């Protein structure tokens, strides 16, 4: 498995998230690849990461989910992949002591490219479905806990996330919960960051 660090639109490297590309073995019958190997993954990270939960999300084109994260005691690191279709995936650094606090990185994850995005604890996560349908699979290091769950507005003016809305051709489809998510400044003021 190969991996790369990610940089934001200004070329600033964001420490933490990694884009993982599996080794795919193809022949006339199709292909095979390991989507997950604990030993390989932990070797890449240089630490022991244990996943507690696997999640699957299906969305139609234009659905935007996020920006979500969980605080302690069930904070979550996520390993995200798209097994059907394609998504524009985003991770926002919400670690107060980080030099890239409030900065974001993105990657297109698709069934075709088979890439995965590692989003460690301390990042908010969201994605926009850019294919007709998409199935997103992600492993989480913490159990889902309603009391720990937090969100930040997907279109926060301070974060300035460049969602591919122009290519989409219409405004993203947002559920009520995400549409009413607080702005990043409010999240900071309430101490709901890492």
- b/e map of 43-74 (b: 16 or more CB within 10 Å)? ebeeeebebeeeeebebebbbbbbbbbbbeeb
- Please indicate whether residue 138 is annotated as part of the active site: yes
CB neighbourhood size of 27 (10 A)? 7
User: Annotated catalytic residue: which of 68, 84, 125, 133?
Assistant: 68
- Please indicate whether residue 68 is annotated as part of the active site: yes
User: Annotated catalytic residue: which of 3, 58, 69, 138?
Assistant: 138
Query: Would you name the residues annotated as active-site residues?
Result: 68, 138
């Amino acid at each position: 498995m190969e991996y790369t660090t990610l940089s934001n639109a200004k070329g600033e490297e964001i420490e933490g998230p990694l884009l993982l590309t599996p080794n795919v073995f193809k022949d006339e019958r199709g292909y095979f690849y390991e989507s997950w190997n604990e030993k390989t993954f932990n070797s890449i990270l240089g630490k022991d990461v244990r996943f507690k939960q696997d999640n699957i999300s299906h969305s139609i084109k234009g659905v935007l989910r996020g920006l979500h994260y969980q605080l302690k005691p069930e904070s979550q690191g996520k390993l995200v992949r798209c097994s059907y279709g394609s998504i524009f995936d985003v991770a926002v650094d919400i670690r107060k002591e980080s030099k890239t606090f409030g900065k974001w990185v993105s990657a297109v994850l698709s069934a075709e490219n088979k890439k995965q995005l590692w989003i460690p604890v301390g990042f908010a996560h969201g994605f926009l479905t850019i294919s007709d349908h998409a199935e997103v699979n992600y492993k989480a290091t913490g159990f889902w806990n309603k009391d720990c769950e937090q969100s930040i507005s997907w279109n926060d003016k301070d974060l300035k996330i460049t969602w591919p809305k122009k290519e989409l051709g219409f405004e993203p489809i947002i559920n009520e919960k995400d549409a009413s998510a607080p702005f990043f400044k409010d999240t900071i003021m309430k101490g709901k960051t890492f």
